[in-house]
Amino acid sequence: MRLKIGNVSIDGLAALAPMAGVADRAFRELCVRFGASYVVSEMVSARGISFFNDKTINLLRISRNEHPCAIQIFGDDPDIMANAAAFALKYEPDIIDINFGCPAPKVNKSGGGAILMKSPELCARIVAGVKRVVNIPVTVKIRTGWNSSSVNAPFVAKLCENSGADAIIIHGRTRDQMFRPGVDLDTIAKVKASVSVPVIGNGDITCGQDAYNMLHHTECDMIMVGRAALGNPWVFSEVNHFLDPSNYPYTPPSIEEKLQVMLFHTGSICRNEGETLGIMKARRHIISYIRGIPFASAFRDRASRVTCMRDVEVLAEEILNTCRNDAIC
């Protein structure tokens, strides 16, 4: 199925969410390989861009293997956000996404992320400012509201659409709920009914059945997978197969394939970041890849202490040999 956000065509129904510390270039490329039809960068501080901070600027880099890809920016000053969006264009994103949904206290205290759900008119001004300076589609990512007493996502979404937003991405929880309890499909459906631009539903998509439920309950145009993709890029293959089995074959990965992809992914991070920093960033992914594998608990501590690529290779070999010796591969 083909979706259009502005003038950008997206073939498929499953997107990768912007996750800080997770959705870097290596991970985005891997998720595209396994069926993500659209990916979004880690959130990037507009103020950090204005200061030309090296670490911040590095987050803007996109490879040719991950399009269509959005760069997501966050902040609360319309002028700084507009300047950051204009600067980001040199890295050739397909879309600029604006973060009005991050629940992290550190981000909210700086005025960015989900705290902006308290200031709908400021959200609209930010969208309008960014829209004026870029020649590519602009989207926003929101939550259902700040708390249960202020569920205002349909109103915020409509204001953003009126200010030029080309699509709305909504995580179906308030900021106060963080990631529990279950996602609020009814409010996502209300957002879909309130706007004419595409709506992407996010929250608790862990498998094909979850994606189907989200699409059919809310009538949203696409779903976005977040934490469930960590250590499991195959989730996109599984979702695509569930929604369209004739065009998307899927076989669950074997233990050997999981470990091979873990090594490939770790190597990609190291090539992008250098081995020392890359291994530090990869530890979270390594632990996620081995979760659920028999005897994983025996290897988890070592996975958290790997210091070089060879450590990861030896770890994978030992896990595989243990499984083979017990005839469970």
In tens, the pLDDT along 148-174 reads 999 999 999 999 999 999 999 999 999
Indicate whether 37 belongs to any domain: yes
Residue 106 structural domain? 2-243
Indicate whether 288 belongs to any domain: yes
Indicate whether 150 belongs to any domain: yes
- Domain boundary (243, 270, 303) is at 243
Same domain, 117 and 63: yes
Active site residue 102: yes
pLDDT score of 327 more than 70: no
- Domain boundary (187, 219, 243) is at 243
What span, in angstroms and rounded, lies between the C-alpha atoms of 11 and 37?
6
In tens, the pLDDT along 126-146 reads 999 999 999 999 999 999 999
What span, in angstroms and rounded, lies between the C-alpha atoms of 260 and 280?
19
Q: How confident is the model at residue 2 (pLDDT cuts 50, 70, 90)?
A: confident
pLDDT score at 329: 57
- Domain boundary (190, 221, 243) is at 243
Same domain, 226 and 299: no
Same domain, 104 and 197: yes
In tens, the pLDDT along 32-57 reads 999 999 999 999 999 999 999 999 99
How big is the CA angle at 229 (ends 182 and 174), to the nearest 5 degrees? Answer: 30
Amino acid at 238: E
Indicate whether 116 belongs to any domain: yes
Indicate whether 250 belongs to any domain: no
Q: How confident is the model at residue 30 (pLDDT cuts 50, 70, 90)?
A: very high
Same domain, 153 and 115: yes
How many Cα atoms sit within 13 Å of 179 on the Cβ side?
7
Same domain, 230 and 280: no
pTM greater than 0.85: yes
Same domain, 156 and 271: no
In tens, the pLDDT along 246-276 reads 999 999 999 999 999 999 999 999 999 999 9
Q: How confident is the model at residue 82 (pLDDT cuts 50, 70, 90)?
A: very high
Task: Count structural domains, the chain.
Answer: 2
Q: Which of 31, 69, 102, 123 is catalytic?
A: 102
Q: Domain of 262: which CATH number? A: 1.10.1200
Indicate whether 261 belongs to any domain: yes
